[in-house]
Amino acid sequence: MTSSRFLPRSSARRNFPTLVECVDRFVVLSLLLAMLILDCGRAAADDVVIETESLSVTIAGAPIKLEAISAKPAGASGKLPIALIVPGLPRASQTNLSAADQMLTARDFARRGWLAAVVLRRGYGRSAGAKPQPVPCDVAAYRKKLAADADDLEAALAALARRPDADSTRAIALGNASAGAAVVALSARNPDGLSAAISISGGLQSEMSCAWDKPLVNVLQEFGRQSRVPNFWLYAKNDSVFTEDLADRMHAAFLDAGGDVTFVTFDPVGTEGQALFTARATRHLWLAEVDGFLRAHQLPTWTRADLNRIMTKLNYKPDLLNSSALHILEQYFADSGEKALAHSTTTAFIGNRTTLWGAMARPSLDLARAAALALCNKESTGCVIVMENQTWVGD
Amino acid sequence: MKLDHRIIARLSENKSHSKDADLFRALDGSMLGRLVATTRIPALLLLATSMIASAAPVGRADDLKTEYGFSRVTIDRRVVRLESLVIRRADAQGRLPIAIFNHGRPGSMIEARDQRLTQPVFTHVLSDFARRGWLAVAVARRGYGLSDGPRQDHPGCKIDSAMAWMNVDADDIQAALEAIGKRPDADPTRMISLGVSAGGGASVALSARNRPGLVAAIDIDGGEHNENCALTEQSIPLDFRTMGTASRVPNLWLFAKNDSLHPPAQVEIMRTAFSAGGGDVKLVEFDPIVPEGHVFSETIGGRRLWLPVMDEFLRAHNLPTWTDRDVDFMLGQLHLSPKAREFIANYLSRPTDKALARSTQREFLADGFAMTMDAARKLALDSCESKAPPCVIAMENEQVVPPH
């Protein structure tokens, strides 16, 4: 087991225009400040334990190794629920993926209380197995490809469930693009312990220039007949592959066949909605929705009780109808790492006036801390960092 | 003899309290510190000289049928699944008029999915309507609970943002009513939309569309508010004039005088603008409710106040609610004298869960209402036994409890 502080590699996509990565002025400012502020040299103990070993699974009786990374909260004792995270691109033959690209997603789920494992299907990235073939444009081919994907995910889930630190009775599977369709296929098998299937910009695009929407909608209708696992599907309206109209048709087919799906289509994001999952700038959108969905299903994530504990530590009492401090804490908890929260100890907390400044979704904790302090110092004095990621570090 | 009820609300950190007497815990108040209230219901002494058994022709079994699940609706030609709850009398025959109860929005939209219809308050409010003869319905609008999304995000500070928000919410309610109206046990020619806060504002907006079958809109502490947006001062008279000009559906508006989001002066501007446009609105304002008037609506203490007002409104518009016949029937079932009439009438207007205790020694009644039946029974029994012990529970909600 290795424990390391890992920075995500650039998640720039090869096949799609990416969203403009959010290098905002705060990051620039914080880089400058990081050089000036002595305090930023203090290294926080990492709150997440990372493992980068491949996952040994058995598929159709044969052992095989899948590229994987896993993350869990440092100091966690007992068994953790399993979050299986599967990256993908829209086409079956787009295999140029890396589990480490989703390090941040693994960390975000670990910080929400999960044993998070990013796993690549056979033939993707450095996972063993034959490279997946292009999918022809008929429902039998779609069925076959997604059954193979479901085999991989089922095997990965079974391997993870054998870990001594895993709670095999509570698992979720989250997939992007073709892996989104794969988690829906997995949910159609109703595996023991699978509590939810989350598909982000999910679907499967045939390599042929043909009406591939039809076999896709048809196969999802079949899954809807079989699946009894709560599904959560998220799309952006400006997804150029799985368009708003196609997403609606997939949804209606799955739902009307008897599937249990909560369906969210975000208004257009960035320049390409297919990048909803991978773009740093849109992580907070789907993370906040996933948090809400997890809470609604009594699955682990941050809750109001966590916010209340921080409010108590800050000696804040929410007023009756409006508390900007609470709103800031919610934004902070919902957003992606790396993040830090600064607090002004010299400003009185009165009504709507805030004494909290958060810097979220930053490339590193040091940058997040510097950015939060910079925001605080711009408007107030006596600024100290009170939270690093989901951990209280104040007095 | 007049009943005197006092509602005492206080912040829980100030005093210890009965955990069941949690009267003012509100949905809209998810941002609140825990508010707690207790109720004291002075017993009513009945000097009975005779026993009259008046038998109503039909029974009033209190069995309710609850369906929790999802409604498949169509909004802007798109398929949308909304979390839904339907409660009706199990023994009701034929098509029932529809009452849709519309929730508010949390202080932070990030918590929108935490508002589940499985929360007890929805069962309680819908039961209040089901007992009055309605097919009582609640849906979680888009983005709330387990409904499809996305949620609406906080509107910017623009002149038309509050009206746009209410209209999107009204789209959801309209779509839900269209779906519910197709049920074989639903009468889509008699529908009312009521709601609290954002759900109340949306009900007013829906009333401005004059949809066939919508016969009343009830707005409980709902209007336009947008923190730190001075433009609402301009938009409120414009929007309510526009809605009042269009709306031909009777409106009932209920506000507490200490609603900090909708103070009386603002409510008066709403009412004046709506009426000036030709809208039909009855406004009822309640005395200040400690500590915050905006969140009284779906709490049990709040329902104690507005249910009787609503009953009067429903009767005035020939819409279903409990009647004198129901009072007669209960007097008969309980073998009570006519002097108990006012007490029983009050009891019928009480919020769910409620219980009625009677002394075994003389004709003496007391009631209690709370978020659980156990708590309601205890309040009723304690109240009764403090004056005329020993006492027994004679009714739970509207079901007669046979003496053992």
pLDDT tens-digit profile, chain B (404 residues): 222 222 222 222 222 223 223 333 333 322 222 222 222 222 222 222 222 333 333 345 679 999 999 999 999 999 999 999 999 999 999 999 999 999 998 877 788 999 999 999 999 999 999 999 999 999 999 999 999 998 887 777 899 999 999 999 999 999 999 999 999 999 999 999 999 999 999 999 999 999 999 999 999 999 998 767 889 899 999 999 999 999 999 999 999 999 989 999 999 999 999 999 999 999 999 999 888 888 877 788 889 999 999 999 999 999 999 999 999 999 999 999 999 999 999 999 999 999 999 999 999 999 999 999 999 999 999 999 999 999 999 999 999 998 77
> Would you say residue A288 lies in a domain?
yes
- Shortest CA distance from B146: residue in chain A: A262
Last residue of a domain, one of A296, A324, A349: A296
Half-sphere exposure of B239 (CA within 13 A, CB side): 27
Share of chain A above pLDDT 90, in %: 78
* Cβ neighbours for B209, distance < 8 A, ≥ 6 positions apart: B170, B174, B246
Q: Is the pLDDT of residue A5 over 50?
A: no
Number of inter-chain CB pairs under 8 A, A vs B? 90
A349 pLDDT band (50/70/90 cuts)? low
> Would you say residue A8 lies in a domain?
no
**Contact (CB, 8 A) for A182 and A93:** no
Which residues in chain B are contacts of A295 at CB distance < 8 A? Answer: 113-114
pTM of the model: 0.85
CA distance B33 to A129: 56
Mean pLDDT in residue range A89-112: 97
- Shortest CA distance from B154: residue in chain A: A327
> Would you say residue A262 lies in a domain?
yes
> Would you say residue A12 lies in a domain?
no
Mean pLDDT in residue range A123-138: 96
Interface with chain B: mutation pick from A265, A315, A321, highest number of B CBs within 10 Å: A321
**Is B53 buried (19+), middle (13-18) or exposed (0-12) by CB count in 10 A?**
exposed
Q: Which residue has the higher pLDDT, A17 or B162?
A: B162
Contact (CB<8Å) B149/A289: yes
Q: Which residue has the higher pLDDT, A371 or B157?
A: A371
CA distance B100 to B196: 11
Last residue of a domain, one of A236, A261, A296: A296
Which residues in chain A are contacts of B33 at CB distance < 8 A? Answer: 317-318, 320
Q: Are residues A202 and A242 in the same domain?
A: yes
- Shortest CA distance from B261: residue in chain A: A321
- The DSSP secondary structure of A165-189, one letter per residue, reads TEEEEEEEEEEETHHHHHHHHHHTT
pLDDT at A246: 98
pLDDT at A327: 83
**Contact (CB, 8 A) for A389 and A332:** no
Share of chain A above pLDDT 70, in %: 85
Q: Is the pLDDT of residue A3 over 60?
A: no
> Would you say residue A244 lies in a domain?
yes
CA distance B206 to B175: 11
For chain A, what is the domain count?
2
Q: Are residues A263 and A382 in the same domain?
A: no
Q: Is B346 left (phi over 0), alpha (psi -120 to 50) or beta?
A: alpha
**C-alpha A296, offset from chain centre:** 17
Q: Are residues A174 and A51 in the same domain?
A: yes
Nearest CA to A133 out of A92, A178, A89 is that of A92
Nearest CA to B288 out of B305, B273, B274, B307 is that of B305
SS3 B109: helix
Q: Is the pLDDT of residue A116 over 90?
A: yes
> Would you say residue A42 lies in a domain?
no
**Contact (CB, 8 A) for A172 and A83:** yes
pLDDT at B228: 72
Nearest CA to B26 out of B354, B264, B302, B261 is that of B302
Q: Are residues A89 and A195 in the same domain?
A: yes
Q: Are residues A67 and A176 in the same domain?
A: yes
pLDDT at B301: 85
Q: Please name every residue paired with A233 in a beta bridge, in sequence order, or none if there are none.
A: A199, A263
H or E element that contains B193: strand B186-196
**Contact (CB, 8 A) for A172 and A299:** yes
**Is B192 buried (19+), middle (13-18) or exposed (0-12) by CB count in 10 A?**
buried
What the block records as the tokens of A32 is: 């400058």
**Contact (CB, 8 A) for A337 and A44:** no
CA distance A235 to A181: 13
Helix axes B300-316, B341-349, angle to 10 degrees: 110
Helix ranges (H only) for B82-221 are 120-131, 161-180, 198-207
CA distance B336 to B347: 14
> Would you say residue A26 lies in a domain?
no
Q: Is the pLDDT of residue A13 over 80?
A: no
pLDDT at B297: 74
Q: Are residues A67 and A197 in the same domain?
A: yes
A26 pLDDT band (50/70/90 cuts)? very low
pLDDT in tens, A246-300: 999 999 999 999 999 999 999 999 999 999 999 999 999 999 999 999 999 999 9
Q: Are residues A226 and A158 in the same domain?
A: yes
Q: Which residue has the tokens 């999960």?
A: A114
Contact (CB<8Å) A326/B78: no
**Contact (CB, 8 A) for A235 and A160:** no
Q: How far is CA B278 from CA A36, B194, B255, B265, in A?
A: 66, 20, 21, 20
Counts for chain A of helices (H) and strands (E), in that order: 10, 14
Q: Which residue has the tokens 């069962």?
A: B123
pLDDT at A45: 59
Q: Are residues A212 and A356 in the same domain?
A: no
Q: Are residues A287 and A316 in the same domain?
A: no
pLDDT at A322: 52
Nearest CA to A110 out of A148, A82, A147 is that of A82
What the block records as the tokens of A307 is: 């916010």
Give the amino acid at B195. Answer: G
pLDDT at A355: 85
Domains and CATH numbers, chain B: 64-316 (3.40.50.1820), 324-404 (no CATH)
User: CATH number, domain at A239?
Assistant: 3.40.50.1820
Which residues in chain B are contacts of A334 at CB distance < 8 A? Answer: 110
Strands (E), A43-129: 48-51, 55-59, 62-66, 68-73, 80-86, 115-119
Cis status, amide bond into B172, omega within 30 of 0: no
Q: Are residues A291 and A201 in the same domain?
A: yes
Last residue of a domain, one of A296, A315, A342: A296
pLDDT at A87: 98
pLDDT in tens, B264-311: 999 999 999 999 999 999 999 999 988 888 887 778 888 999 999 999
Contact (CB<8Å) B150/A265: yes
- Shortest CA distance from B144: residue in chain A: A292
> Would you say residue A28 lies in a domain?
no
Contact (CB<8Å) A292/B292: no
Q: Which of A251, A327, A331 lies nearest to residue B79, judging by beta carbons?
A: A251
Q: Cα distance from A110 to chain B (closest Cα, Å)?
A: 20
Which residues in chain B are contacts of A263 at CB distance < 8 A? Answer: 80-81, 148-149
Interface with chain A: mutation pick from B81, B109, B113, highest number of A CBs within 10 Å: B113
Cis status, amide bond into A338, omega within 30 of 0: yes
Helix ranges (H only) for B181-231 are 198-207
* Cβ neighbours for B172, distance < 8 A, ≥ 6 positions apart: B73, B75, B80, B82, B139, B141, B142, B202
CA distance A377 to A41: 18
CA distance A152 to A162: 16
What the block records as the tokens of A195 is: 């509590």
CA distance B370 to B381: 13
Q: Are residues A195 and A339 in the same domain?
A: no
Q: Which domain holds residue A342?
A: 304-392
Which residues in chain B are contacts of A322 at CB distance < 8 A? Answer: 31, 107, 227
Q: Cα distance from A307 to chain B (closest Cα, Å)?
A: 11
The greatest distance separating any two alpha carbons of chain A, rounded to the nearest whole angstrom, comes to: 67
pLDDT at B12: 24
Q: Are residues A175 and A309 in the same domain?
A: no
